[in-house]
A and B are shown apart, each in its own frame.
Chain A
Amino acid sequence: MNDPTAQFDFLGLTFDWGTIISTLLAMAIVVIVSIVLTRRLSLKPGKRQNLIEYLLEFTSSIVDGQLPKKQARQFGLYAFTLFFFLIVSNEMGLLLHFEGADGVTYLKSPTATPIAAMTLAVMSLVIAHGIGTQELGLKGYLKNMLFKPYSWMLPLNIIEQLANFLTLSLRLFGNIFAGEMLLTLVANNLAWPGHFNGLWTVAALPIEMIWQGFSLFIGGIQAYVFVILTSVFIAQLSGNE
């Protein structure tokens, strides 16, 4: 990850081309897949409609398991978008990885950068805290978050909230980043370190395939875990444990 990055400043903020391009591509894929799958919706679903209905019911069931019906309905769109975006992002880097001539990686999983993962975690937690405040009122929300089950647990509860943020973001980032890094390591150092590497070049193929399959699995699991943890946090913070 000591790769150079292509950065530019705009309105006093620093942007990173690699993340922007990857995020936009992932979102474009999500939108295109959604449009393709939802053409000609009918009460009697076809194959494509079944697929998107299955996806939607899957994310809704994650949320329904944690939250009361009213909140689950409110939160359904966020969970659906989050899961769809995460699963596309996580898997994208395994299939598409583009490195420019200047050594800058322009295309990878957006979730393989800590900033992106943390941004998504912050967004989820802001929503969770917001719903908590809305449900319990500011006083009830603070009491529920900091003084439950006993008031002397205040320090532990503060640490827990910070840990929630770190675990949510770094779990996602770490899994996806590690998956991609190992793929790159196998490819660059084992299979083709600038020249033909004898038996290792041949042996690298099954290793790469196995790890790629495992990473695909991990990417799906991480998207699922991220959504389920978000709904768990919402449930916790709004007192619906």
Chain B
Amino acid sequence: MFGLTTLAAEKIPIGNSVFIIISFLALMYILKKVAYGPVTKTLDDRAAKISNDIDGAEVARQEAENLAVQRQSELADTRQKATQVVADAKASAQKQSDTLISTASDRATLISQRAQTDAEKLKEDAILNAKNDVAALSVAIASKLMQKELSLNDQQALIDAYISDLETK
């Protein structure tokens, strides 16, 4: 060996070995403090963060899915409710209109009844008046014709009988 024979000629520098070992250990310590420790920690932190992020994303996805399902059911619920409301409103409107119509028809019946009664009363009144007028006229005519005073009261019964005879015809 080229180098070994040379070294044999001089003193073998065993101190170099000691020096290299000690300085290497020191270098290891410094690198641990300066580079290896911090960088390993950063790598571990990053791995942990990525793993956490993946887990977090999974949880968030699950949550979103749950929310979507919830929304869906709520939507269906709301739609059903809306249908219900519309149906209720329709029914209530129907009911109201029925009430209105029946009230109106009742009132119309009432009005027409009253009108009929009024008309009948008017007619009766008119007939009564006419009766009275006819009686008075008849008396006047009769007294004129017979120049004879006739008692109105005596004639009244006769005229009534006559009139009712007319009415029945």
Chain A interface (Cβ < 8 Å from any Cβ of B)? 1-2, 5, 7, 9-11, 13-16, 19-20, 23-24, 27, 30-31, 34-35, 37-38, 41-43, 45, 49, 52-53, 56-57, 76-78, 80-81, 84-85, 110, 113-116, 118-120, 122-123, 170, 173, 177
A38: chain B residues within 8 A (beta carbon): 34-35, 38-39
List the 8 closest pairs (A to B, CB-CB), nearest first. A13-B15, A15-B15, A34-B35, A16-B13, A119-B17, A119-B20, A14-B11, A81-B28
Residue of A35, A115, A120 touching B13 (CB-CB under 8 A): A115
Interface string of B39-52 (1 = CB under 8 A from A): 11011011001000
Contact partner, A31, options B17, B30, B49, Cβ 8 Å:
B30
Measured in the bound complex, the distance between the Cα atoms of B157 and A131 in whole Å is: 154
Q: Answer yes or no: B1 CB below 8 A from chain A CBs.
A: yes
A118 to B21 CA separation, bound complex (whole angstroms)? 11
User: Are A16 and B16 also in contact (CB < 8 A) when A31-B30, A43-B49 are?
Assistant: yes
**A118 B40 Cβ-Cβ under 8 A:** no
Query: Cα distance A38–B42 when bound, in Å?
Result: 11
Which residues of chain A are within 8 angstroms of B28 by Cβ–Cβ distance?
A: 77-78, 81
Asked if A118 meets B17 with Cβ closer than 8 Å, knowing A31-B34, A177-B3, the reply is: yes
**Contact residue among B12, B23, B24 (Cβ-Cβ distance under 8 Å from A115):** B12
Q: A44 to nearest B CB, angstroms? A: 9
Of all chain B residues, the one with the shortest Cβ separation from A43 is B46
Dominant secondary structure at the A interface? helix
Name the residue of chain A whose CB is nearest to the CB of B11: A14
Question: What is the interface size of chain B, counting residues whose CB is below 8 A from a CB of the partner?
Answer: 37
B166 CB-CB contact with A under 8 Å:
no
B residues 1-31 touching A (CB-CB < 8 Å) = 1-4, 6-7, 10-21, 23-24, 26-28, 30-31
Select A116's contact among B12, B20, B32, B40, beta carbons within 8 Å: B20
Among residues of A, the one whose C-beta sits closest to the C-beta of B43 is A53
Check if B36 is an interface residue, CB within 8 A of chain A. yes
A53 touches B39 (CB 8 A): yes
Q: Which of B47-82 contact A (CB under 8 A)?
A: 49
Q: Which of B31, B39, B43, B49 is within 8 Å of A30, CB to CB?
A: B31
CB <8 Å contact, A76 and B40: yes
Q: Given the interface contacts A14-B12, A115-B7, does A52 sit within 8 Å of B45 by beta carbon?
A: no
Q: Residue of A at shortest CB range from B9?
A: A2
Question: Quick check: A34 and B23 within 8 Å, CB to CB?
Answer: no
With the chains together, A41 CA to B34 CA distance in Å? 11
Q: Which one of A16, A27, A42, A80 lies within 8 Å of B23 (CB-CB)?
A: A27
